[in-house]
Amino acid sequence: ASPLPLQSPTKVSCKGVGLRKFPKELGQGVKYLELSNNFIQNLSGSHMPGFGQLEYLDVCFNQLEAVSATALAQLPQLRSLLLGSNRLDRNYLANGQAFRLLSNIEVLDLSANNLESHMAGWYVGNLPRLRRLDLSGNKMTRLPAGIFRRTPRLRELDLGNNYIMEIEEGAFEALEELEVVNLALNSLHCISGFSLTQLRVLNLSHNALEFLVSEEGAEPYLLQVLDLSHNRLLYFPELPKVHYLTHLNLSNNLIASLLPGSRHPGAFVLRYKEMARFNRTLRTAAGLTHVADLDLSNNRLQMFPFTFFQSLGSLQSLSLAMN
């Protein structure tokens, strides 16, 4: 048998010990099992005695291609399943079908598995208790409507470092408890009709955003942290009702004016007719009463209207470098 360094009777780490298959000889009360950095290709459990207590399983950085329903059926207590950096794009239909047995799973890592949008959607087709989902570093190009329909309790969602160009209307509709979303390092050009009022943290950095339009609804936004750095924003985004926002990063954009939709200076051009409807008032900053940290560095600002900063009563840190 391979060397199996045990930390405690319930917690076992076999990280990087050259395993080629699931160590079935363990079992008997193990709750936490770390198998990352090995060469495991499949989880097929015709006979996995003693793993009924397993709550946490880490199989990241292996060569995993196949996960069988028989194996997952024998892990009824599983709460966290980490499968990042594997080959789950292969056999995704059978694997995804097996994943429907993960009715108690709360944390799922499927990062860096070469998953396209339809594959990712198939894997998360029935995970009613899922709270945290990592789909970063895959090959997703769009978020179809209803992709998260069967993961209604999702609280944290990482979609960073994909190729997402399109978010269809209704993609996030079922996610009423969603608080943290990472969409950094994608290919988004615009966000219109943004209506996730319950979000606390939103990272949209390193995209190609030229404008962001949030929906004017009755409910205030609970957003506290918004990162829009490294985009192509042409103007200060209009953010109505973001009364809880404390951190706003707008660095490394093309912002030439702090007036929404302003045509000043002359070189600043409105590229979308949608922008034309933004009036040239100072409502821009009106909702930013709690912002403590505002980063406007590396933009194209030429002037800073005093009236803009009047409403920023909580400001503690302001960067206007490189303008």
- pLDDT tens for 26-42 read 868 899 999 999 999 99
Q: Which two tokens stand for residue 88?
A: 């789950």
CATH architecture of residue range(s) 1-105: Alpha-Beta Horseshoe (3.80)
**Higher per-residue pLDDT: 27 or 252:** 252
Report d(CA 111, CA 162) in Å as an integer: 10
Give the pLDDT confidence of 101-151 residue by residue, as tens digits: 999 999 999 999 999 999 999 999 999 999 999 999 999 999 999 999 999
> Does residue 18 have a pLDDT over 60?
yes
Report d(CA 151, CA 282) in Å as an integer: 40
Q: Do 224 and 200 meet the contact criterion of CB atoms below 8 Å apart?
A: yes
> Does residue 264 have a pLDDT over 80?
no
Report d(CA 72, CA 42) in Å as an integer: 12
Which of 30-44, 174-188, 302-316 is least confident? 302-316
Amino acid occupying residue 24? K
* DSSP 8-class letter at 72: H
Domain ranges within the chain, ordered by starting residue: 1-105
Give the pLDDT confidence of 196-212 residue by residue, as tens digits: 889 999 999 999 999 88
pLDDT in the model for residue 286: 65
Amino acid occupying residue 146? G
